[in-house]
Amino acid sequence: MTNKKSFGQKALGLLRGNTVPLMFIVICGICIYLSGFSWSYLLNQVITRMGRNVFLMLSLLIPIMAGMGLNFGMTLGAMAGEIALILVADWQIWGIPGVVLAMLLSIPLSVLMGLMCGKLMNLARGREMITGYILNYFVGGLYQFVVLFMMGSVIPITHSTLKLPRGYGIRTTTDLSNMRQCLDNQWAITVGGVKIPLLTFAIIALLCLFIVWFRRTKLGQDMRAVGQDMEVARDAGIKVERTRIISIVISTVFAGFGMIIYCQNIGNFPTYTAHTQIGMFCIAALLVGGASVERASIGNVFLGVILFHTMFIVAPKAGQSLTASPQIGEYFRVFVSYGVITLALIMYEAKKRRAKSGTGALLAQAQKAQKEEGGARA
Amino acid sequence: MDRSERLGRSKVGRLINAYGLPRLIITAFLLLLFILAPVAGADFATQISNVIARFSWNAVLVLAMVPMIHSGCGLNFGIQLGILAGLLGGTLSIELGFTGFPCFLMAILISTPFALLFGGGYGVLLNRIKGGEMMVATYVGFSSVSFMCMLWLFLPYKNPNIVMAYTGEGLKQTIPLNNFYAGVLSDLWKIDLNSIGVNLVIPTGAILFFALLALGMWAFLHTKTGTAMTAVGSNPTFAKASGVNIDRSRTLSVMLSTWLGAVGILVYQQGFGFAQAYTAPLNMALPAVSAILIGGASVNKASISNVIIGTFLFQGLVTMTPTVMNSALNVGDMSEVIRVIVSQGMILYALTRKTEGSK
């Protein structure tokens, strides 16, 4: 009897802990049915998007470990990646060497931006997420300044195919067709009509291994300690500020790599808008996978990318077949992305507050007990 | 820390500290633009008219930031809720067949229950997540706008002036208001000096309307409820000890802010001449937030003068930079870049100031 009950409780706990993914499985199921896409088409699309997005999403994990919440500042890394891609495209280094060079080039830029982001977040402790979020817009302005005005006039850009007709500034779309899917096509195998980009997956696997290994290093342990409780970590002799900055720098560098992988898959990128939504979609996808603001695992990334992008593919078609308006599905998927982030943030903040008032109550109780004891002694 | 102390010792340094270095830079930049404007060939009076006109459109939206800052809820990044209530009020008022000034009044009247409802729910939500308001507010704003995007498609609007032309259902993306309430405030008692050869237009009605609301806000903050609200923001423990219901005060401030947001967007629409539905409200929070910060407010302190100075400086920056930059340096989009960097930089500065105290 007790055994059965505990099993029921366990199942209920499992249900409650995974409300968001379960909800999404239901939504996706309904949408797939309504859209009428074939399974092989869906599988193909999901695998493509997996190769495209997983690296970017993995970059979010380390700041979560360090207790800094969802790193909305990952967009900074994406911008560093884009600048590197523009330069490599101008130097006409294509294919895999181009991708590797772009990654190398993006590192110093990402490190610089990560340092700035980390420093600012240390100043705005307790408000890291909103700071990162506003920082996106701020650095977006700087990015626009560099790409639209400095490139071609101060930073040498030789090829006119990249430049605006006025002689400086980059065109609104940067063409990477000579680099398109060079990673994805290397070692690609086709199983039953579904293309599997093995090299991209191998790179992703490497990053996963790195994250697993990193958690066990001294630095990784420090980060977890800082994430648990900053003051305790400081008393234990951990340099809290430095640890937090490092976690953001690592995240920014990986986001830069991720953006390069993302762009080589698509084969071009809108120069001024490619990075604006990337952070939001990655974060939403991670949360759909069952992560929260304070805990996320590699499993969440993979589940999230599958569920979120399935919804992304099928929602417009499903909406169209339901209401004869393609717009509705478009709005629906944007609403879901925003909604899931909102929900996760509310849950996180409410929990944080409850924990705080919980410790407060405990403290009050202890003090009361102490007082009574003192009174009794007197 | 060291540097600011050293700065604080000298007299000039004290002045700078009182006024705030970023605000000083922005004011100096704006003054420079005003000086450069005639050199660049832009008519000075036209520039002033533009700044004043845009001031009158936006000031109420910036004013909407004040109550929530006072009650300690931080910057209202979720002002979109108020904007949506205003949009509902405006479109329903048109749908019901009102025109002219009554249309504007009805719009405010109809949007009020929506604003109170949205604001009430939003306030209760914010009470449960004290300390993390700003991030949640941002995404509450975003998700409600995207939710309304779907509703705009389905709500049974019938008036041919506001529904999409070819299908006959679903709200238009942009609704021209010239037959409804465009300019009802701006054209009221308008002072137009074009008859004596100066291109200076002052939208007296709209400015008076803002003055009325600002006065009301000032008076409210000095009532018992208003003082209690400020107390909640500056020292919650003290407020609680003196018997103030913290949650009620905060909810009230959020409702007030949301309602002002609704009125604010209606004032904006009457000046702009168009009502914008769907995704347009998404990015309306950040300009209002940065305007009040440029005016010298911080995350937990704001006054009416911050609103006036801030709106004037921000709108001055928005209108002056393009004209001066375009005619003087001939670089088109530079002004947009400057605007983004200045306004977001200002928000960042406010968020990272240590004196604010982390909650």
Cβ of B347 and A134 within 8 Å?
Answer: yes
Sign of the alpha-carbon torsion through A365, A370, A373, A374: negative
Nearest CA-CA partner of B143 in B90, B91, B87, B81: B81
User: Are B23 and B310 a contacting pair, CB within 8 Å?
Assistant: no
User: CA geometry: angle at A247 spanning A241 and A250, to 5°?
Assistant: 140
Tens-place pLDDT, residues B281-332: 888 888 899 899 888 888 888 889 989 999 998 888 888 877 777 666 666 6
Nearest-10 crossing angle of helices B80-95, B100-128:
150
Cβ of B143 and A335 within 8 Å?
Answer: yes
Question: Which of A194-203, B37-46, B156-165, B171-180 is the least confident region?
Answer: B37-46
Interface test with A, best of B325, B352, B358 (most A CBs within 10 A): B352
SS3 A296: coil
Domain assignment present for residue A139? The answer is yes
Nearest 5°: phi and psi at B42? -90, 140
Domain assignment present for residue A274? The answer is yes
Domain assignment present for residue B292? The answer is no
Q: Is the ipTM of this complex over 0.90?
A: no
Tens place of pLDDT per residue across chain A (378 aa): 445 557 777 777 777 777 788 888 888 888 888 888 888 889 999 999 999 999 999 999 999 999 888 898 899 999 999 999 999 999 988 889 999 999 999 999 999 999 999 999 998 887 888 899 999 999 999 999 999 888 888 888 888 888 888 888 888 898 888 888 888 888 888 887 788 888 999 999 999 999 999 999 999 999 999 998 888 999 988 999 999 999 999 999 999 999 999 999 998 899 998 888 888 889 989 988 888 888 899 999 999 999 999 988 888 888 888 777 778 888 888 888 888 888 888 888 888 777 777 777 777 777 777 776 665 555
| Residue B122 belongs to domain spanning | 42-282
Distance CA A67, CA A266 (A): 33
Domain assignment present for residue A337? The answer is no
Nearest 5°: phi and psi at A92? 60, 40
- The tokens of A376 are what? 């009794």
Q: Is the CB of residue B164 less than 8 Å away from at least one CB of chain A?
A: no
Q: Residue A85 is part of a domain; what is its CATH number?
A: 1.10.3470
Distance CA A354, CA A357 (A): 5
Residue that is written with structure tokens 């490092």 in the block? A246
DSSP type of residue B95: H
Those residues whose C-beta lies under 8 Å from the C-beta of residue A278, and which sit 6 or more positions away, are A56, A74, A75, A78, A259, A262
User: Are A243 and A222 a contacting pair, CB within 8 Å?
Assistant: yes
Interface test with B, best of A334, A341, A352, A354 (most B CBs within 10 A): A334
User: Are B144 and B152 a contacting pair, CB within 8 Å?
Assistant: no
Phi-psi region of A7 (alpha: psi -120 to 50; beta: other; left: phi over 0): alpha
Q: Which residues on neighbouring strands pair with residue B191, listed in sequence order?
A: B202
CB-nearest to A124 from B129, B345, B351 is B351
Nearest CA-CA partner of A53 in A178, A204, A196, A185: A204
Contacts of A334 in chain B (CB under 8 A): 146, 149
Domain assignment present for residue B345? The answer is no
Domain assignment present for residue A179? The answer is yes
Nearest CA-CA partner of A106 in A98, A117, A94, A118: A98
Cβ of B146 and A149 within 8 Å?
Answer: no
Q: Is the CB of residue B328 less than 8 Å away from at least one CB of chain A?
A: no
User: Are A68 and A296 a contacting pair, CB within 8 Å?
Assistant: no
Domain assignment present for residue B67? The answer is yes
The shortest C-alpha distance from B140 to chain A (Å) reads: 6
Those residues whose C-beta lies under 8 Å from the C-beta of residue A228, and which sit 6 or more positions away, are A67
Residues of A with CB under 8 A from a CB of B: 120, 123-127, 129-131, 133-135, 137-138, 140-142, 144-145, 148-149, 325, 327-328, 331-332, 334-335, 338-339, 341-342, 345-346, 348-350, 352-353
Number of independent structural domains in chain B: 1
Residues 64-123 in B contacting A (C-alpha not used; CB under 8 Å) = 77
Burial A183-215 (b: 16+ CB within 10 A, else e): bbeeebeeeeebbbbbbbbebbeebbeebeebe
Distance CA A61, CA A220 (A): 12
Can you give the pLDDT at residue A185? 85
Contacts of A138 in chain B (CB under 8 A): 340-341, 344-345, 347-348
Across the A:B interface, residue pairs with CB atoms under 8 Å apart total 115
Distance CA B189, CA A243 (A): 62
Domain assignment present for residue A358? The answer is no
Number of independent structural domains in chain A: 1
User: Are B356 and B301 a contacting pair, CB within 8 Å?
Assistant: no
Domain assignment present for residue B259? The answer is yes
Mean of the pLDDT values across residues B46-54?
A: 87
Nearest CA-CA partner of B169 in B180, B156, B185: B156
Nearest chain A residue to B122 by CA distance is A346
User: Are A194 and A45 a contacting pair, CB within 8 Å?
Assistant: no
Cβ of A353 and B153 within 8 Å?
Answer: no
SS3 B45: helix
User: Are A100 and B332 a contacting pair, CB within 8 Å?
Assistant: no
Q: Which helix (H) or strand (E) holds A105?
A: helix A95-123
CB-nearest to A338 from B146, B331, B359 is B146
Domain assignment present for residue A138? The answer is yes
Contacts of B134 in chain A (CB under 8 A): 127, 130
The shortest C-alpha distance from B343 to chain A (Å) reads: 8
CB-nearest to A127 from B134, B150, B341 is B134
| Residue A98 belongs to domain spanning | 42-330
Domain assignment present for residue A359? The answer is no
Distance CA B348, CA A124 (A): 9
Distance CA A179, CA A97 (A): 9
B260 alpha-carbon distance from chain centroid: 9
Please, how many CA atoms are within 13 Å of residue B252, restricted to the half-sphere of its CB?
18
- The tokens of A60 are what? 């979010």
Tens-place pLDDT, residues B224-243: 999 999 888 888 888 888 88
CB-nearest to A353 from B130, B331, B337 is B130
Radius of gyration of chain B (CA): 21
Domain assignment present for residue B55? The answer is yes
Domain assignment present for residue A341? The answer is no
